[in-house]
Structure 1
Amino acid sequence: MDNRIFLLGLFLFAFGGVNGFPMNDLIEKLPGQPNVTFRQFSGYIDIDGKAGRSLFYYFVEAEKDPMNLPLTIWLTGGPGCGSVGDGFLSVGPFITTANAHGLQRNPYSWIKVTNLLFIDSPIGAGWSYSNTSRDYEVGDDSTNKDLLTFILQWFEKHPNFKSRDLYLGGSSYAGHFIPNFANSLLDYNNNQSNSSKFNIKGLALGNPLLRNKLDTLAVYDFFWSRGMININLHQQILKECNGIDEDNYSNNATKWSEPCQQAMDKAEMAAFIVSSTNVAKARRFDVLRDPCDEKWEDLVLGKEVTKVSFEVDMCIPFRADFYFNIPEVQKAFHGNRTNLGYQWKGCFEKSGLKYSDADKDIDMLPALKKILQQSIPITIFSGDQDAIVPNFGTLNHMNKLAKDMNLNLTKDEAWNHENKGGGWMYSYDNLLNFMTVKGANHHVTFSKPSEALFIFTNIVLNQSQ
């Protein structure tokens, strides 16, 4: 009798979960991982069994007192980049070792102050997939519906976190994902009893794409302001690409005229002194630092691959790509159950994902406005070395949003971190914050992780308390 009870308990522990945790999703230990006291879980949420559509997730407990700290959902952009992989070069608990065969602790992980949930979204990003080909033709609406279905089912697996304070964060195209998701959760709340509402406390967005057409034009203003193109070329772009400003933005997709596109291409190549627009656009990610010299063969041989430039190891994303391709790593993650026919990459190019170009031009200020109207604070942080979504373009959007909502500029001042200048902060009625981050590229959480943790801890969390 005692043996049967023991076996039943073991079965429930392994397959049914204990105290609200799905123990079949528990990660025992990732290859090359240092010993830790916090738990990690990962696996699939089947959001449409008929279509065979599933989203992959990775959940990490806060390193101390996880039962009393908030939950933060992290989504990265692309669209099509995997949030789980992004967690291993930004806010997650680990980064790869120099030879990419193991992991080391991330001293600036946000698990110091919150539990973290990473979701590979949309379908085709990371290890998320569908058995139905049309599911790879996605956009903002379909992505958002999948995320809502996902989180409702995820909370069934992790009920302990359902009523927890909830923060939503992400970078780049998460400027679409996160506001849309937040509004879906708020709409859901309006139709639920108090016991089942999402307790959204704030949003944190890094270098978010908010008004694509204006963010595109801001790239060339950025080049000119930095002396990367001459005034004549800048004036040519202003002349050929005019007709859009903060007050006449529309959701209609804009096709740049041929003279406008030619001037843009010329400016791209002139800015980085290259003969290829593709090479130039890749350099937009960080105009201060040279990219990593990718040597996959060196990593295969166990050699170290690093490139430290202005205090940032630019090869961390490349090494994460390698680590996620190790079979033992995929097994430990409970990932890649479709056995991908191509290498895993942080941002896939071969998954078949086709994201709506028209949706990329949608104005996200109305979505942000709806969130702010419900007194949920939003903090946006933006690296000043980013030429993908330049920060002064985003500042123009914030000024526009504040004006439309009659929010007053209550702070316009430098902010410091560890006795050094961190950047500049603009706060509108202490509800909407915009912070530039000195020396950071398109991913603040990767290039300036200490500053990112400071912003999340001291601005995002404190603001909502």
Structure 2
Amino acid sequence: MRWCRGIATALLAAVAQTVVAAPASAAAGSSSHLNKRYIEERDGVSYNVFEHHETGSKMSFVKNSGICETTPGVNQYSGYLEVGKNMSMWFWFFEARNKPAEAPLVTWFNGGPGCSSMIGLFQEHGPCQFYNNETEPSLNPWSWNNYANMLYVDQPIGTGFSYGDDPVNSTVTAAPYVWNLLQAFYANFPEYECRDLGIFTESYGGHYGPEFAHYIQTQNAAIDSGEVTGDKLALKAVGINNGWFDSTIQERAGIEFAVGNSYRPLINASTAAQLYEVFDARCGPALDKCVATGGDAECADADSICINEIDNPIAAITDFDTYDVRQPSQDPFPPNTYVDYLRRPEVMQKIGAKVRFEACPNAPGEGFGRTGDDARSFLDTLSAVVQTGIQVLLWAGDADYICNWMGNFHVANAVKYPASAQFNNATMKPYKVAGVAKGLFKTAGNLSFMRVYEAGHEVPYYQPEASLQVFMQVMQGNVPSST
């Protein structure tokens, strides 16, 4: 692992000039001297380019575009990393508004699979949001970059602004490309490499979060043993809201939530009883077969059976938004104003985007569908991550159906780690912000679960103050606590 270097001022000076590869005699055995930095003008855009020798990656980014984050003195970088041949992964980085030289680095991944992390940036916890039906964004006072340096990533390839060939067809195959991006990011921005690292994600992040964290920890061990060359990543915490972890647990919980959520019943008790029978006869056994065989066909079949015979019938009975049961299905919420904004030619040019933005294109998700990735359980992987002792927060808005809080609660109770019994026996207690209850939570050891009141799938949109508070607490290495 590299020794820790200075803060951003030295780097900003470095990227402002062309730096060529040093002669071999000047740095024998030091691959860092084979890296290159230079300025490249393309299509009227000035890109800072960094070629990373160790991973064979090339990063091209725009510095301080003036889009979204307009707080004076706060740096931002947006652009692409070539994580493979003809594979350009989009990232957008924002420095912390407060003490960026000391703040941790947090990566954010939206789910899908195949949904852009610009959703999290513009609708949830990024530096700006669209308020009061305005078409221009305004500063978000509850942005997570109040506390942390935030890195938003569009993955896999084909998602959001990312483009090129997409070889990723599962959560497991996605992880190495994310690690590749972080390796190149640290090499270009070495002032962040010794900081605490957080992985926060949602929805399909119930797959992404455990696997990405586990892969990073596995790579760290391989670096220690000399099997892998790279920078160890100081993973501090993982946070997953409204995650999809385990279909066997969560498909059944979908019925439980549909009949018993605190807002409105989506089905009656008689229909629920019928669906439980369907689960026991069809969905559950298909998922068991997926787990037993691990085959793509079996897992894809299980996913199809459960969706068609459990989820779709519930959605057909009552008109509701699966991401917020309080809303009708035909009225997307939160509003998608950011999509048109990111498609404006002048905005694309300023941030260095090269392709038309697509929030949730079909192609990446179809690849996952063919391998049945959705039906695969990541509960064991989650347990392995919790067992390493880092802080793990599972939290969920209680108005979301598709990855509802009841299923997330059952998943949390199923995690196996030294404090499992204590966690299962713990009583849920109010989580307060300035004395006002925003939800319920429980903690044992390094695992916490939180049910967030009056929140749909995108929790930080609905409860921004509470989200920022718990985000900061977890990233500081603490368990959630009321204020």
Sort the TM-score into its range (normalised by shorter chain). 0.7 to 0.9
CA distance in structure 1 between the aligned counterparts of 2:269 and 2:348, rounded to whole angstroms: 51
CA distance in structure 1 between the aligned counterparts of 2:103 and 2:159, rounded to whole angstroms: 28
Alignment of 1:22-421 (within 5 A): 25-30=61-66, 34-48=70-84, 51-98=85-132, 101-130=135-164, 132=165, 135=166, 138-193=169-224, 196-226=231-261, 227-242=265-280, 244=284, 251=291, 252=294, 253=299, 255=302, 261-262=308-309, 264-272=311-319, 283-290=321-328, 293=331, 314-316=333-335, 318-336=336-354, 339-340=355-356, 344-349=357-362, 354-356=367-369, 357-402=371-416, 406-409=420-423, 410=426, 412-421=428-437
Structure 1 contact 74–119 (Cα < 8 Å) conserved: yes
Distance 1:15 1:360, change over 3 A: farther
Structure 1 contact 47–150 (Cα < 8 Å) conserved: yes
Structure 1 unaligned runs (5+)?
1-8, 273-279, 295-313
CA distance in structure 1 between the aligned counterparts of 2:152 and 2:232, rounded to whole angstroms: 21
The answer to whether structure 1 residue 428 and structure 2 residue 451 are counterparts is no
Distance 1:315 1:172, change over 3 A: closer
Letter matched to residue 375 of structure 2: D
CA distance in structure 2 between the aligned counterparts of 1:370 and 1:263, rounded to whole angstroms: 30
The 10-residue stretch of structure 1 (404-413 or 254-263) with the greater mean CA deviation from structure 2:
254-263
Greater relative CO (CA pairs within 8 A, separation 6+): 1
CA distance in structure 2 between the aligned counterparts of 1:293 and 1:238, rounded to whole angstroms: 30
Deviations 1:335-370 (A, max 9, x none): 12xx44xxx232223678622451111211111111
CA distance in structure 1 between the aligned counterparts of 2:147 and 2:13, rounded to whole angstroms: 32
Matched residue SS, 1:46: strand
The answer to whether structure 1 residue 439 and structure 2 residue 459 are counterparts is no
CA distance in structure 2 between the aligned counterparts of 1:260 and 1:178, rounded to whole angstroms: 23
Structure 1 contact 241–257 (Cα < 8 Å) conserved: no
Letter matched to residue 443 of structure 1: E
In the TM superposition, residue 406 of structure 1 has moved relative to its aligned partner by: 4.0
Equivalent in the alignment of 1:301 = none
Structure 1 contact 81–126 (Cα < 8 Å) conserved: yes
Equivalent in the alignment of 2:29 = none
Structure 2 contact 323–401 (Cα < 8 Å) conserved: yes
Letter matched to residue 13 of structure 1: A
Equivalent in the alignment of 2:472 = 457
Structure 2 unaligned runs (5+)?
1-11, 20-36, 39-47, 51-59
Deviations 1:271-298 (A, max 9, x none): 32xxxxxxx5xx110012346857xxxx
In the TM superposition, residue 118 of structure 1 has moved relative to its aligned partner by: 0.7
Structure 2 contact 391–474 (Cα < 8 Å) conserved: no
In the TM superposition, residue 11 of structure 1 has moved relative to its aligned partner by: 8.6
% identical aligned pairs: 21
Deviations 1:242-273 (A, max 9, x none): 1639x97963525379799456533322232x
In the TM superposition, residue 27 of structure 1 has moved relative to its aligned partner by: 3.4
CA distance in structure 2 between the aligned counterparts of 1:453 and 1:46, rounded to whole angstroms: 32
Matched residue SS, 2:222: coil
Deviations 1:394-440 (A, max 9, x none): 111111214786441255312112332211112122x1100000011
CA distance in structure 2 between the aligned counterparts of 1:259 and 1:91, rounded to whole angstroms: 32
TM-score, normalised relative to structure 1: 0.80
Structure 2 contact 251–310 (Cα < 8 Å) conserved: no
In the TM superposition, residue 191 of structure 1 has moved relative to its aligned partner by: 2.3
Structure 2 contact 323–400 (Cα < 8 Å) conserved: yes
Equivalent in the alignment of 2:463 = 448
CA distance in structure 2 between the aligned counterparts of 1:438 and 1:217, rounded to whole angstroms: 22
The 10-residue stretch of structure 1 (198-207 or 394-403) with the greater mean CA deviation from structure 2:
394-403
Structure 1 contact 140–359 (Cα < 8 Å) conserved: yes
Matched residue SS, 2:372: helix
Structure 1 contact 123–353 (Cα < 8 Å) conserved: no
Q: Report how many residues are paired.
A: 414
Matched residue SS, 2:457: coil
Matched residue SS, 1:64: coil
RMSD: 3.1
Structure 1 contact 77–171 (Cα < 8 Å) conserved: yes
The 10-residue stretch of structure 1 (247-256 or 156-165) with the greater mean CA deviation from structure 2:
247-256
Letter matched to residue 415 of structure 1: Y
Distance 1:71 1:101, change over 3 A: same
The 10-residue stretch of structure 1 (203-212 or 400-409) with the greater mean CA deviation from structure 2:
400-409
Structure 2 contact 111–205 (Cα < 8 Å) conserved: yes
Matched residue SS, 2:93: strand
